[in-house]
Amino acid sequence: MTGGYVICEYDKVKAEFPEFRAVMQALEDSLIAKASADWAPLSYGGIAPLAGQFGKTTVMPQLFADNAGNRLTSWEQTFTATGSQTIMTGVESGGIIPEDFKVGLVGLAFLDKALKISEIKMQISDKKLPRMNIEEAFLYNKPAIIFEEGFILDEKTSFDLYGYVLSQGIQRIKLIGLQVNRIPNKLQVTNTGAALT
């Protein structure tokens, strides 16, 4: 892991950060190859998988828990304390990504004008990403942090996103990337926030 990243406007990622497309494509290729190997004999079925295929979607918040340990139903959470803390983790016990899901992570977007976090760091399984000072992001309307390389959050492995929270209140933090789903029917969540079973 190199830990390199770029801070930019979320709404202008594609236009002003042309490398994003290459990073995203490389991540998608790696994620599909890993899922194809791990979930054989299933094959890749894209966004409309058929029987015997696994599917692809955007990253679902229901795979993650907020800073209070509650399953996310949207990317919104409420900070009730300041200082260093876990701000997002895998939803299963121990911060684990649920079985049958693999997430490709290429960045984070802060969907609020008022950013309440000054730095972040991540841990994916036993790999730690260096601390990132994101105070520069205060200058942006909706800042995004795009990594120079994508990361795979594998099923049944841990994911923790830590941050230094400056103020209490609501913050919407969205994971940018894609996910693959071994059992497409698990995506038919009819009630917001319902468990993926």
Q: Which residue has the tokens 């979607």?
A: 57
Of the chain, the percentage scoring pLDDT greater than 70 comes to 90
Cβ count within 10 A of residue 196: 18
**Which stretch of DSSP H or E encloses residue 19?**
helix 19-38
- Taking the C-alpha atoms of residue 176 and residue 190, their distance in angstroms, rounded to an integer, is 23
DSSP 22-52: HHHHHHHHHHHHHHHHHTTT-EE-TTS--TT
Q: What predicted TM-score, i.e. pTM, was given to this entire model?
A: 0.89
Domains and CATH numbers, the chain: 5-16+61-177 (2.60.120)
Which is it for strands 83-90 and 64-65: parallel, antiparallel or unpaired? antiparallel
Average confidence score pLDDT of the chain? 90
| Residues 50-86: tens digit of each pLDDT | 999 999 999 999 999 999 999 999 999 999 999 999 9
Backbone torsion region of residue 26, taken as left when φ is above 0, otherwise alpha when ψ lies between -120 and 50, otherwise beta: alpha
pLDDT, one tens digit per residue, over 85-116 is 999 999 999 999 999 999 999 999 999 888 99
CA distance 56 to 43: 12
User: What are 164-173's pLDDT values in tens digits?
Assistant: 999 999 999 9
- Segment (H or E) for 57: strand 53-57
Secondary structure tally for the chain: helices H, strands E: 2, 13
Contact between 111 and 75 under an 8 Å Cβ cutoff? The reply is: yes
